[in-house]
Structure 1
Amino acid sequence: MKQQTRIQLGLATVFLTMMCSASAMAAEHGTEAEAQDMVKKAVALVKSAGPEKAYKAFTEHTDGAFKEKDLYVFAYNFDGTCIAQGATPKMVGKNLLAMKDVDGNAFIKGMIDMVKASSKGWYGPYKFSNPANQTYELKKSYCERGAGDTMLCVGTYFEK
């Protein structure tokens, strides 16, 4: 086999591998519909099982629940204290009302204000660190009012 043919074959292999990897990564992103559906299931669990049991399920993914692709539930009370966090459990109990993204957007406060005003809806865009690739990406979150003065949300990254 000629050197040029081997190089072309090698480049084609690299290109196809990159394309397959990109497709696999894109498939790992949850959709807006999946995020919204997960929030609705989370609200239903809070109502049926009670907040304490539900928050534990959101944070610990009991029986594999409330964790799909890159989607997970996070919950805050209206003073900004995290009460459930499906990706970073160490955030539970911390007041993150003033937390800002890299552009200075106080996104937790923004979500809470939106839920207070309209009970549910999409908040975003804001920039959030994607744990899969350690880069900041645009994200938006669907949120609904939970029990009392709380909100339940699931975020999804914008497709590139």
Structure 2
Amino acid sequence: MIRRTIRGTASLVAVAAALLTVPAVAADHATPEQAKSLVAEAVAYLKARGPDEATKAFQDPKGSFRRGELYVFVFDTDGRYVASGANPKLAGSDAAQLKDAEGKPIVQAMISETKDKPNAVIDYVWLNRQTNKVEHKHSYVTRDGRYIIGAGTYDE
């Protein structure tokens, strides 16, 4: 009787531990509100500090503009990377013809969608560096002068 109770308790503990990991995984995904907030903070920082200082801050892997899977990216209206929180080596490179995993020209979409309105949501398929899987991503972008500042979330 005691052994059966101990085994039953051990099984319940194992099930409870497994269930507790599910919310932790879900909590790792950023929300659209968090992405929009990060973009708003990045725009304010860029305006206050200028592009050179902002680029350094946006690309700092331990800085305040890197939050789990969320990071800031910035393109100019010619399609050049100004900053990439995911990969700082991209800064200065031409991304005008950059396409997602399905062939969609995403930077051109960001440029054209923010031409007549300051904010847009661009949906595409991209590598999630936290899961190392290609997933659906929704980037929230804002045009400020010649800069397009964004951050994106992945589907759960």
TM-score (norm 2): 0.86
Alignment of 1:16-31 (within 5 A): 16-31=16-31
SS, match of residue 129 in structure 1: strand
Whether 1:151 and 2:148 are equivalent positions in the alignment is yes
The equivalent of 2:82 in structure 1 is: 83
CA RMSD of aligned residues (A): 2.2
Alignment of 1:1-160 (within 5 A): 1=3, 13=14, 16-60=16-60, 64-124=63-123, 126-146=124-144, 148-159=145-156
Distance in 2 between residues matched to 1:11 and 1:101, nearest whole Å: 44
SS, match of residue 97 in structure 1: coil
| Pairwise CA distance, 1:24 | 1.4
| Pairwise CA distance, 1:154 | 0.6
| Pairwise CA distance, 1:10 | 5.6
AA of the residue aligned to 1:46:
L
AA of the residue aligned to 1:26:
A
AA of the residue aligned to 2:136:
L
| Pairwise CA distance, 1:127 | 0.8
1:85-129 per-position Cα deviation (integer Å, ceiling 9, x unaligned): 1111111111112121121111121111111131212111x1111
Distance in 2 between residues matched to 1:129 and 1:107, nearest whole Å: 13
Identity %: 34
AA of the residue aligned to 1:128:
W
SS, match of residue 26 in structure 1: helix
AA of the residue aligned to 2:34:
E
AA of the residue aligned to 2:75:
Y
Q: Rate the CA distance shift 1:53–1:20 in 2: closer, same or farther, 3 A.
A: same
Number of residue pairs matched? 153
1:21-46 per-position Cα deviation (integer Å, ceiling 9, x unaligned): 33212111111111111111111111
The answer to whether the Cα contact below 8 Å between 2:69 and 2:129 also exists between their aligned partners in 1 is no
SS, match of residue 115 in structure 2: helix
Distance in 1 between residues matched to 2:7 and 2:96, nearest whole Å: 57
| Pairwise CA distance, 1:48 | 1.0
Q: Rate the CA distance shift 1:20–1:152 in 2: closer, same or farther, 3 A.
A: same
> Which deviates further from its counterpart, 97-106 or 74-83?
97-106
Gaps of 5+ in 2: none
Q: Rate the CA distance shift 1:17–1:102 in 2: closer, same or farther, 3 A.
A: farther
